[in-house]
Every structure is written in structure tokens, then in C-alpha cells.
Structure 1
Amino acid sequence: MPSNEINKLSNIQLVQFDLDGTLLDSLPQLWQAVNIMLNQLGFAQVTAEVVQLWIGNGADKLVERALTDALGQTPSEREQQAARSGFDAAYDSVAEHKIVLYPGVLDTLSQLNALGKTLALVTNKPYRFVPAILASAGIDGYFSHVLGGDSLAQKKPDPAPLLHVCQTLNIAPEHSIMVGDSENDVLAAKAAGMRVVGLTYGYNYGRNIADSKPDWVLDNIQGLLDLLKS
């Protein structure tokens, strides 16, 4: 790594993380909730592989994509609202069940904490679900600030959530880095003027995260420690 890159990374004070597909594999719970919703509406169930391609833009988009697939057309506002209500109730019943952190997540968060880094979470998942999920996963104590997809008027790929975290924690964007698994994370970070790490194992609509051109591409989140220890 060039010396100028090392110097930039040595100034990183704040690490902002995505949640689904980055820290935890939430596909099983989202898949269950989508199928419960579809079943209640009289539609056929779908595979986990299909649902995985729908994840990433928040609950409204997930529900819209599921309904569009079932109906063969974009749902009406009434259909969308009814389905979203059903999804929320279904997800409430399964969101905290058998949560699985990706390999190396707990160790990475712990070591970053030990290095004195400030950690934050920025997810497009509705905030109402987030605290209980973090607590069930045993990682709620690591984050100085947590934003959900409905915490602000904008969500990723808009840079507003990332910039809001920086402002709240009084840390300049150039001293922050974003870590995520989808192009939403990359686009938001670049628009916010911060560096970004793309992880290869999450939910990026079936596309290679490298295509979004993050500053670094990692197969394992623990590689973040090597970057920030440089």
C-alpha cells in the first residue's frame, strides 16, 4: 500500500457499517417474512435465492419487489400498504430468531473498539427492528450511533445518513470510512466524501461488488483490521 494511502487510513476515527449482508446474514428471517406475507395475500411462496436479490433498499422496496413479482405489475398504493403492514407483522415475529453473524464480525468489532475507533451503524432496515436485532446478536454495545432506513427523510444511496452520523459524532467525513456489501453503500460513501470498503459475501442484487468500484474489496471483514492497523 502506498505511503500516502497509509497516512490517510491512519487518520480514520469513525467506521460506519451496514447491517444486512455486512455484519449479519438476515436472509433467513427476511425470506420467512416475505413468504408469510405472500401466503396471507394468497400468492405462491418464493425461494431464498429470489428474496436475496430483492434485499438492500429497505422494507418498502423489498415488499414492492415481492408484490411486483407476484402480481406481474407494479402494485397499487393500497396493495403496497396492505402488504407492508403484513410484512412488518411477519418480520416482527421472526427477526430475532437464530441470528447469524458473518465470520470474523465479533472479533473485528471488538478489535476496532480496542484500537479506539468510533463505530456506527447505518442500515436501510426500518429502525423499529434494529435495536432488538443488535441485542440478540450481541453487538448492540459496540455502536456510538445507529440509524435505520426511516430515521431520516433520506436513506442510502443518499449520503445524508452517513453525513448525519459524522455531524452527530463530530467527526469529519474524511476521517470516516464506510463498510458495506452493496452499491448503495459505495454510492453513499463516495457522495459523502469518504472511503469505502466493499464486502463480497453479502446482498448486492446478484452483482459483483467490485463493479461499484469501492476503494477496497474484501472477502472477509477481518481484512478491515489490516487496513486500519496500517
Structure 2
Amino acid sequence: MHPVMKDIRLVTFDLDGTLIDSVPDLARAVDAALLELGLPTAGEATVRDWVGNGSLVLMERALRHAITESAPSGMDRKSSHEVDADLLARAHDGFLSHYAKDPASRTRLYPGSREALDGLRAHGLPLALVTNKPAAFIAPILEGFGLQDHFSLCLGGDSLPQKKPDPAPLLHVAEHFAVPPRACLMIGDSRHDIAAGKAAGFRTLAVPYGYNHGEPVADCGPDGVVESLAELV
């Protein structure tokens, strides 16, 4: 096994950008919600830079972008636009509705994800999933890939009052399994995953291919970086 796994008794994974590339489905739902509001769509490439802080922040970023793009000619298109709370609520509800209808048909597992999960499970290590995605979407996605039995505990961004980068979800996982944080590993693709892991006292491992707002995740100082999760086993 990878050296970062030494003395680890519990492995916690992020989902989007770490195990799966979900942006095609997220972007479809974002654009559908924007269209319902008569706003310009964002497109997959743009949405890719907005993922990682939960669905409400995703739609706030989408609205700010759309409002800027639809500003009258002559206005400063780079200026910051406030997002009305009622508009954000409607946009978020629209996104959730569209995403719920089809959360995974375009989503793909990253190469190495299944091999890592199968291998860690074969070694008898308990696995947990901690994502900022709303909890309701976790099961349909995992079931679509036949991974529903790999995780002993799954937490979404609305499972607890706090979400990553707050360490609370990871501390909850460690307590649930009665494993000290120093024997736990957090694996993710973004600075939020690494920050949460460090604050919780977990060892941290990063993958460089996910969603980190255009910044190299290695700059966050994880304990290790792997090009493929298959390197774990």
C-alpha cells in the first residue's frame, strides 16, 4: 500500500472531483435553472471552477456570473453584483429540482477510483464519504456505480450544521468509528478538503485532477499527492 496509508485505520473520501467527475450533470442543472429565470447559461467549462462549496454557493456563483454577463452594454462587466436572496432561493430550488431528475447520467468515475475503493475494502478498512453535496444525491450516484456498499457512513453538506472546510464532519466520522483522528486519512481534490483534514487532525492526501478553483492542490500542503487513487493499494 502507499506509504501515506501507514497506521491508517479509517479512510474518508470527498466525492465530486475526487472519486467522480460530476460537472457535466451539475452544469446541465445549473444552466436549466438559469434558463428558467431568463438568465444566460454558464456552460460546463465555467461551472467546473465553481464546484466544491455546496449547491447554494454554486448557484450564488452562477447567478453573479449570469447577472454580470447580462449587464447592459457600457457597464463594468467585471464589477461584483449582489445576488438577491429571493432570486438565489428560486435559483437554488430550480437547480435541486433539475439535478434530482438526473444526477448521474453524464457523471463518470475517475480512473483508479473503483480500484482504490475495492482494494481498501479488501484490506478491511472502513470507508466514509464526506461531501458538501446535498445528502439526498449521494445514494443515487453511488447506486448508479454499484458503490453503495463500499461506504459505512456518508455525510452530505446538509447532514450537519457545518460542512468542509470546517473539521466538524470529519471529527464526527472519527467519533462514529471510534478511531482517533491521527489514525484517519482524508482524501480530496480541493483546499477545502485539505483544510478540513488538517483542522481535524487527520492525515491528508490530495488528487490533482479535480476541482480546486484553478489552483494546484499541492499548494495546500497535503501529506501526499497521488495522480491516481489506484496508487493507494
Which bracket does the TM-score occupy, shorter chain normalised?
over 0.9
The letter of the residue matching 1:41 is L
Shift of residue 190, structure 1, vs aligned partner? 0.3
Q: Which of 16, 29, 33 does residue 29 from structure 2 map onto?
A: 33
Which residue of structure 1 lines up, in the alignment, with residue 8 of structure 2?
Answer: 12
3-state DSSP of counterpart to 1:20: coil
TM-score normalised per structure 2: 0.91
1:135 and 2:143 equivalent?
Answer: yes
Which residue of structure 1 lines up, in the alignment, with residue 56 of structure 2?
Answer: 60
Kept in 2, the 8 Å contact 1:99–1:137? The answer is no
Shift of residue 9, structure 1, vs aligned partner? 3.8
Which residue of structure 1 lines up, in the alignment, with residue 127 of structure 2?
Answer: 119
Shift of residue 224, structure 1, vs aligned partner? 1.9
Name the one with the larger helix percent.
1
The letter of the residue matching 1:159 is P
Kept in 2, the 8 Å contact 1:99–1:136? The answer is no
Kept in 2, the 8 Å contact 1:174–1:193? The answer is yes
1:167 and 2:175 equivalent?
Answer: yes
Q: Which of 72, 82, 93 does residue 85 from structure 1 map onto?
A: 93
Residues in 2 aligned to 1:70 and 1:99: alpha-carbon distance in whole angstroms = 24
Moved over 3 A (4+): none
Gaps of 5+ in 2: 69-80
Which residue of structure 2 lines up, in the alignment, with residue 22 of structure 1?
Answer: 18
The letter of the residue matching 1:176 is C
1:188 and 2:196 equivalent?
Answer: yes
Gaps of 5+ in 1: 226-230
3-state DSSP of counterpart to 1:140: coil
Residues in 2 aligned to 1:98 and 1:31: alpha-carbon distance in whole angstroms = 10
Shift of residue 97, structure 1, vs aligned partner? 1.4
- CA-atom RMSD in angstroms: 1.3
Say if 1:74 and 1:224 are closer, same or farther in 2 by CA, change over 3 A.
Answer: farther
3-state DSSP of counterpart to 1:161: helix
Shift of residue 98, structure 1, vs aligned partner? 3.5
3-state DSSP of counterpart to 2:129: strand
Equivalenced residues, count: 220
1:152 and 2:168 equivalent?
Answer: no
Residues in 1 aligned to 2:219 and 2:84: alpha-carbon distance in whole angstroms = 33
